[in-house]
Amino acid sequence: PPPPGGGPRPARGGPVCPGAFLLAAAGLLDGFEATTYWCQLENLALFPHVRVSAGYPRWVLHKNRFSGGGISSSIDLALELVNQLSGPTQSMSTQLSVQYAPSPPFQSGDPSQAPPEVTADLRCQDQEFIAKIREATMEVIGNGSHDGYRPSAYPASPAAG
């Protein structure tokens, strides 16, 4: 559908972090592969027509939609979008201009890398956040906006980072 107020449709679009839930609720991720913040992947899979990427991709590009995980992964996503729109030189220039050269002191950026006790502790701290998103998601699904509960998990796309 055309955007509200008319005008041209965007060539591509998408969310980062839990913004995926806004687009999923509006049906704008229906039929697309997507990701979100790692502790909310199970909740995003509650939307029956959203294909949630397997694992913990930092970002996903699928057709004309993109989605990013947490804050730092959205920087990676942005650099890939610049690469696709303007080429690798511009993407590298952008990366250099913001001095983005990640070198974290630990490799624990997602549950597949972090020690299990660190993941368990953070998941425990995030329980209220997880529960609120689940409640809102179930409300959207239950009001007829979507046709029911069907969690999905698909292999990571070759365009996932």
Active site residues: 17
| DSSP label of 52 | E
| Cβ atoms of residues 112 and 118 within 8 Å | no
Residue 59 in contact with residue 66, Cβ under 8 Å?
A: yes
- Structure token pair of residue 32: 């697309």
Q: How far apart are CA 58 and CA 30, in angstroms?
A: 20
Cα separation, 80 vs 27, whole angstroms: 25
How far is residue 44's CA from residue 22's CA, in Å, rounded to a whole number? 10
CA distances in angstroms from 66 to 48, 113, 152, 157, listed in the order given: 18, 24, 18, 12
- Judge contact between 154 and 54, C-beta under 8 A: yes
